[in-house]
Amino acid sequence: MNPSSNRSSRLRRFLPRCALLVAMLLAACGGSRSDAHESAEAWKDWNRFAEHYIQADGRLIDWTFEEKSTSEGQSYALFFSLVANDRARFDQVLRWTSENLAGNALGDKLPAWHWGRKDDGSWGVKDGNSAADGDLWTAYSLLEAARLWSAPEYEAIGRKLLAQVAAQEVVMGVVGGAVLLPAPYGFRIGEQRFKFDPCYVPPFQFRYFGTVDPKGPWLSILDGYMTRSAKIFHAGVAPDLITLDAGGGVEADPDRPTASYDAIRVYLWAGMSERDGPGQLQLLRPFAELIRKNGVPPEKVDTRTGQAVPQDWTPSGFMAASLPFLRALGEDDLRKQVQSRMERERSRAWAMNKANYYDEVLVLFGLGWIEKRFRFDREGRLQPAWAKQPAAG
């Protein structure tokens, strides 16, 4: 036998044993870094997203729109870092968010929603108004990181953020239940009318906030939203924005007669909300018929008629966002059809360097859900695939 061939044979037998030994040693040490690495390695979509959109310092860049960063993007990066059990990246994202969007005082201050290149060529905050969805996804991710990683230092910041949102972005005293404003400024119409964005209220998230902060306005906001849902979704589709009044009235928003990039998340959240989603799913079932008719979710829908606005293109993220919705409705054949189309469109977009941040966020949510990488229990707690599940409570 050739000596070099014999050495190669021995080496091939040795390497698997060596790898097994290393794995056993790491497991015995209980290294969270190893767990995070293995978890992240298994989620290729997250790996690619993080590599393409998140800098080493924790800044998530939306390359599609002037390389801007937003509090929404940072909050989603926190959430998916937690789902991937990637604490090192979580801390990087959290640090950048606090330093650059909240003057290094996140929790004591709400983060600015928009950071980017300013008119003078410098980089920094372009709009200091906050965005309630980014604020609440950040708070949710911090509170759940504290629980899942046994890291109470995150909880203090998360609770401070909840208090800031309650003080600055919630309208109390509205008939039917409190209202979450999209931001502290710009969404009040006089003293008695307000603009409301349904996608800013994921039912599972507000169920969770009501559990961890029972004295807060969260269940009142959720109850009001659920009570008003029949009027909000009167045409069987979700709007981007509606107008509410203090007496409980619901009106279409005159500036947004069509629904699109905000509304698509309403279907996503309904499909993920085990406890509160079923009622909304039935109200929104006509949207599934639009998907069946078009083959994919329409990019734009007329909220007055419930009909799709003719378009020759649908974002791949919309297809991904519809997957939990269709699964929850029992439309699995249609879901598989949409998923197959989505996977083809994504592959083409990445190959042509045309993938964009928002589409890929919706993919992480929608496809991640279908792949069972995470769930939310009846109290809205996160159940990542890597974690031991909490006892029912």
Note whether 302 and 276 are within 8 A (CB). Answer: no
Cα separation, 126 vs 118, whole angstroms: 6
Q: Which segments in the chain show pLDDT lower than 70?
A: 1-41, 389-393
- Residue 66 a catalytic site member: no
Cα separation, 345 vs 152, whole angstroms: 42
Cα separation, 45 vs 257, whole angstroms: 34
- Residue 4 CB neighbours (<10 A): 8
Strands 382-384 and 114-117: unpaired
Instruction: Show Cβ contacts of residue 230 under 8 Å, excluding neighbours closer than 6 positions.
Output: 283
- Residue 379 a catalytic site member: no
What is the per-residue pLDDT across 106-142, written as a single tens digit (0 to 9) for each? 999 999 999 999 999 999 999 999 999 999 999 999 9
> Which of 45, 133, 262, 276 is flagged as catalytic?
133
Rounded to two decimals, what is the model's pTM? 0.89
Amino acid 42: pLDDT: 84
Amino acid 129: pLDDT: 98
What is the per-residue pLDDT across 355-383, written as a single tens digit (0 to 9) for each? 999 999 999 999 999 999 999 999 999 99
Amino acid 15: pLDDT: 39
Parse the chain into domains and list their residue ranges.
38-168
- Residue 351 CB neighbours (<10 A): 9
User: Does CATH number 1.50.10.10 belong to domain 38-168?
Assistant: yes
